[in-house]
Chains A and B, each alone.
Chain A
Amino acid sequence: MSKRYAFLLDMDKCIGCRGCAMACKNFNQLQPDMVWRQVYPLDESIYPHRDRAFLSLSCNHCDNPACLAACPTCSYEKRPDGIVVHHQETCIGCSNCIRSCPYGAPRFNKAEKHAEKCSLCHERLDAGLQPACVQACLTGALQLIDLNAPLPGGLVQYPAGYPNMPRLNPSTRFILPRAPRLARR
């Protein structure tokens, strides 16, 4: 069976440093205002302390990608290993993918006038390397996994604060964060 690549975010280890997102800008040479990965703090109603637990998200490389279905120019492609690739060179900048993706993965590049998004660094994967963001994660919170291989227990597909979209079947998996016992005044 072929691979199905996916991100695993261990929110219990994630420190919200944004190193993953900056490493992505660094390797993929994004425009100064562009990001392909964003780190979203969890609301206090989800994690009890403000700005202390995070969802680090880029593209979820969905099983049934909304972007791919929405794109009128066939600029999205799903590789057999699950990676959803956007081809900037055929994009006409209609933004329909941006409207359609519930996760905000495709974003509009104003300077070059097209949509773009996380490629899961497939050029790196094809060379036997980890995606830039995964390599950058210094706590081991962000990992690359194969959904078609045996997975560790305790993984969550739809943590609170993350759009629940069973029709799309996003590939990213999560481990939920814990909060410390507190002694405070």
Chain B
Amino acid sequence: MNYEFPLVFFTVLTQLAVGIALAAAWKERRADGIRPGDNPNRLWQGAFAAAAAGLLASLFHLADPLRAFTALSNVGHSWLSREGLVFGVFAVLLLARCLVQARWLSLLAALAGVVGLVMQGLTYAPVSMPAINNSLPFFLFALAALILGSSFGQEKENSLVSLQRLSLIALLLLLLAVPCVWTSGNALMRATAAAWKASVPFWGGVALLALGLALSFLRRNATVQGLVLLCGILLTRMTFFGDTLHTAGQIGKPF
């Protein structure tokens, strides 16, 4: 099974970065949002580190990473070019925000991240994969960003815990509901549903997400809980990239 690990890490890490950026920008929405002891720069630095790591991971997906910059050529047509461009800008804005404390920069960075999520949602919804040729990837990615943002985008006390629980429940419901919806779709969607349901990473990921949800009620170590959620999302993302069936694999069979 080809799980496309570079894409798994690229998408999850950039979504982590977007989530942190959103959390940080949210905290800065009022001048008094920053409480004593908070170090908003640490969040921005974290976001930048995640974004940079994600972009680095994406290079491993290329056969010729040294020419990665040419991937920006087709901004006119290719969602992949647009995704690359927006996340490139996003990373630059994050870096800028780390260096210069300015609310407009924070807002701009957060906005770029959200636009990046939209681009990503469109890039990974190819026409050749009927099961995900819809808004599902966007919602999966957006929820991942919210969950990771609310886990890693907080300092000291968990001010975003309700958002985290809400988005976790939404993601779990979505992950469990989607294969059921597919079973009433075409042959390829049904086969994708079966592949997801038979996927070990999928159930492992779901279990970890559920564990993360439980941990959020125990209010124990937030770092441990964040890592549990990160692993859960990585695992389900492996299924997304590795077990979603492509029409080309079914040619000659009924669709």
Report which A residues bind B (CB closer than 8 A): 38, 40-43, 45-46, 54-55, 57, 66, 68-74, 90-96, 99-104, 108, 113-114, 160-165, 167-168
**Bound Cα distance A162, B188 (Å):** 12
Known interface pairs A55-B251, A57-B251, A92-B67. Does A72 touch B126 (Cβ–Cβ under 8 Å)? no
Assess whether B247 is in contact with A163, with CB atoms less than 8 Å apart: yes
Q: Which of A45, A70, A102 is B80 in contact with, Cβ under 8 Å?
A: A70
In B208-255, the 8 Å CB interface with A consists of 246-255
Assess whether B62 is in contact with A94, with CB atoms less than 8 Å apart: yes
Report which B residues bind A (CB closer than 8 A): 61-65, 67-68, 70-74, 77-81, 84, 123, 126-129, 246-255
**Bound Cα distance A167, B251 (Å):** 18
Q: Which of A71, A101, A113 is B74 in contact with, Cβ under 8 Å?
A: A71
**Chain B residues whose CB sits within 8 angstroms of the CB of A70 once the complex forms:** 78-80, 126
Q: Which residue of A lies closest to B133 (CB)?
A: A102
**Bound Cα distance A83, B16 (Å):** 42
Shortest Cβ distance from residue A38 to the other chain B in the assembled complex, whole angstroms: 8
Majority secondary structure of chain A interface residues (helix, strand, loop or mixed): loop
Known interface pairs A74-B73, A93-B64, A95-B61. Does A43 touch B254 (Cβ–Cβ under 8 Å)? yes
Known interface pairs A101-B128, A102-B127, A102-B128. Does A161 touch B80 (Cβ–Cβ under 8 Å)? no
**Chain A residues whose CB sits within 8 angstroms of the CB of B72 once the complex forms:** 72
Q: Which residue of A lies closest to B255 (CB)?
A: A163
Max chain B CB contacts within 10 Å: which of A45, A108, A113, A163?
Answer: A163
Q: Which residue of A lies closest to B68 (CB)?
A: A92
**Chain A residues whose CB sits within 8 angstroms of the CB of B254 once the complex forms:** 43, 45-46, 160-161
Could you list 7 examples of A-B contacts with CB < 8 Å? A43-B252, A43-B254, A72-B84, A91-B64, A92-B67, A92-B68, A94-B62
**Bound Cα distance A40, B255 (Å):** 14
**Bound Cα distance A83, B211 (Å):** 53
**Chain B residues whose CB sits within 8 angstroms of the CB of A90 once the complex forms:** 70
Q: Which residue of A lies closest to B251 (CB)?
A: A40
**Chain B residues whose CB sits within 8 angstroms of the CB of A94 once the complex forms:** 61-63, 71, 80
**Bound Cα distance A167, B255 (Å):** 17
Known interface pairs A71-B78, A72-B72, A73-B71. Does A93 touch B62 (Cβ–Cβ under 8 Å)? yes
**Bound Cα distance A69, B81 (Å):** 10
Shortest Cβ distance from residue B96 to the other chain A in the assembled complex, whole angstroms: 25
**Bound Cα distance A54, B253 (Å):** 11
**Chain A residues whose CB sits within 8 angstroms of the CB of B77 once the complex forms:** 68-69
| For the complex of A and B, 8 pairs with smallest distance between CB atoms | A93-B63, A104-B248, A113-B63, A40-B252, A72-B71, A102-B128, A102-B247, A163-B247
Max chain A CB contacts within 10 Å: which of B79, B126, B129, B248?
Answer: B248
**Chain B residues whose CB sits within 8 angstroms of the CB of A95 once the complex forms:** 61
Assess whether A74 is in contact with B248, with CB atoms less than 8 Å apart: no
**Bound Cα distance A96, B7 (Å):** 11
Shortest Cβ distance from residue A126 to the other chain B in the assembled complex, whole angstroms: 26
Assess whether B251 is in contact with A103, with CB atoms less than 8 Å apart: yes
**Chain A residues whose CB sits within 8 angstroms of the CB of B68 once the complex forms:** 92
**Bound Cα distance A85, B72 (Å):** 20
Q: Which residue of B lies closest to A90 (CB)?
A: B70
**Bound Cα distance A80, B23 (Å):** 50
Assess whether A41 is in contact with B249, with CB atoms less than 8 Å apart: no
**Chain A residues whose CB sits within 8 angstroms of the CB of B81 once the complex forms:** 72
